[in-house]
Amino acid sequence: MAREKTLLRLVACGSVDDGKSTLIGRLLHDLGTIPDDQLEALARDSKNVGTRGGELDYALLVDGLMAEREQGITIDVAYRYFATDTCKFIVADAPGHAQYTRNMVTAASNADVAILLIDARKGMLTQTRRHGFVLSLMGVKQVVLAITKMDLIGYERAAYDKIVADFVAIAGGLDLPRLAAIPVSGVSGDNIASRSAATSWYDGPTLIELLEGAEPRDAFRRDQPLRMAVQSVARPNQDFRGFAGRLSAGSVKPGDTVRVLPSGRTANVARIVTADGELKRAVAGQSVTLTLDAEIDCSRGDVIAAADAPCEIADQFQATIIWMSDTPLYPGRRYALKIGAATANATITDIRHGIDIETFEPTPARQIESNGIAVCNVSLDRAIPFDAFEQNRETGGFILIDPETNETAGAGLIHFALRRSQNVHWQALEIDRDAHAAIKGQRPAILWFTGLSGAGKSTIANMVEKKLHAMGRHTVMLDGDNLRHGLNRDLGFTQADRVENIRRVAEVAKLMADAGLIVLVSFISPFRAEREMARKLAHEGEFFEIFIDAPLAVAEARDVKGLYKKARAGELKNFTGIDSPYEPPEKPEIRIDAAAMSPADAAEKIVAVISAAPR
């Protein structure tokens, strides 16, 4: 019976015009995957020429692309397939432009081996360093350094040796333990499938031989402790309950004791079920369904781990984040975090430092721009099981999703849990929010007034509080200007500071609502994401977004503080409505036309709406 071929995932990367498409075309041509008349076209544009041949494993290719689409990642990576007598390869052609770091990350995240190309005429470039760093960051341990276009420099050995030495010098600061170098020419086919007489001074293997000698990442993980993220729970009948997923590390057999995380409950494996029948043993890389000998709580997003070597569990950790969104990342903004099949609400609490991926040095950073990389502290709304990314990319890697647009905003690599995550625990209190509200005889609420400076927020909020006070209600006012004299006096008016400003106020408002109060919050709060974050902190039906809608011209005409005048003169930077954006609410609970309605009438309307709200 024929031995099943090993599947390897490759990423081909390098600077612009380093010859990736030509090299890939030569690989496909020399292995008989494309005919002679398509080689030149493929060299011009690898995305416009299809592959042929009976061995193309479409399922593997489609699975990879679908996984990326499910994560919402927009990529510009061309995938190609080829095979030798012993291996099957899927190769991702990652764009070489600096602005496509996100695509390089996507392609490298699933790669077993990288082919890093360097044009022999140009030598080491900034983008070479960038791609070397990203490969190291994404845990690609096997790298083939392909010095391309050797035919254009007369196959000069000295030039080749210098380029290799230059790369080895920077590789010392990177984790690339299996590094090999080879002189090639995609056009002439030198050292691709057969050794070239033009490089008689090179006595190493061909590119194909180097690739065939590589190992899948899963091979390195089979000796590690068991990890399987539960993708689904199968219960076709009362006699069968199985947990389906892919082993990302270790192995398992019937009788093994496993631990389900985060609950920590243990059980023994009863059966290992697949579509082709039951197995006596499953290893990393296989997708299976496990049944257990005990009826314990286990659901999608949980991790089944070795009982004696489980994952860590924490709700705060330090991670490296690669930012993909065109909207910068600001500390304090909330995102959905997806790790394996589990999801949680996440906040970047602190950017420890950015990373200059040209020098690999840490740099100060208060926000992360598109394609930027930074080390950050991340806080979740619940504890999750995880491993460090360097130990397991599936239980240690995550994506951040913008809750408003549902786009994948960033990718993260977990390093370790923060100690405070393990030392600080939620204290149960005997007098809860319901008890506080009952003694006050009212339902807590957060009245969030938003609008441009000068729209009349504070004036109207004060009138609303006076009316509520006259009705015997217990209230508290949080005004933006007042809090900047105390709690938020350390913050400026950059977008990053504005995000943190609202995060702090939202947390204070929540605590006061938990004390049974009606909290009036009067802040410009220009960004929808922060207002939505504040809404999610409140209990259902207790958050009222009140949009004091005044056109910019009206607000500017009321400029009693002279702020618009200073902003127009360039004396006041980052002023909302002038050189910093305001994102109006799309569906506020209450909208006040501040140009047409008096503050007194507005206050009357707000109190009436709140009083009529269902309890």
Catalytic positions, please? Answer: 525
For the chain, what percentages of helix, strand and coil (3-state, to nearest 5) are there?
30, 30, 40
Count other Cβ atoms within 10 Å, centred on residue 35: 10
Q: What are phi and psi of 522, to 5 degrees?
A: -115, 95
Distance CA 140, CA 175 (A): 9
Please report where in the chains the tokens 């019937």 appear, as a residue: 254
Distance CA 15, CA 214 (A): 24
Reference 522, options 476, 479, 475, 460; nearest CA is: 479
Reference 378, options 426, 341, 329, 425; nearest CA is: 329
List of E strands, 126-254: 142-148, 178-183, 227-237, 240-249, 251-252
Residues facing 447 on adjacent strands? 520, 544
Give the three-state DSSP class for 387: coil
Task: Read off the tokens for 263.
Answer: 């609950």
Count other Cβ atoms within 10 Å, centred on residue 58: 8
Length of the chain in terms of residues written: 615
List of E strands, 523-565: 543-549
Residues facing 272 on adjacent strands? 290
Which value, to the nearest 10 degrees, does the dihedral of the CA atoms of residues 124, 130, 135, 141 take?
Answer: 40
Q: What are phi and psi of 2, to 5 degrees?
A: -70, 140
Strand 277-278 and strand 287-292: the pairing is unpaired
Task: Read off the tokens for 190.
Answer: 């030198």
Count other Cβ atoms within 10 Å, centred on residue 349: 15
List of E strands, 94-134: 113-119
Assess contact for 603 and 463: CB atoms under 8 A.
yes
Reference 400, options 331, 338, 316, 320; nearest CA is: 338
Furthest-apart CA atoms within the chain: distance in Å:
96
Distance CA 303, CA 263 (A): 10
Give the three-state DSSP class for 440: helix
Residue 524 host element (H or E): none
Q: What is the DSSP string of 6-42?
A: EEEEEEEEESTTSSHHHHHHHHHHHTTSS-HHHHHHH
Assess contact for 514 and 440: CB atoms under 8 A.
no
576: left (phi over 0), alpha (psi -120 to 50) or beta: beta
Assess contact for 318 and 416: CB atoms under 8 A.
yes
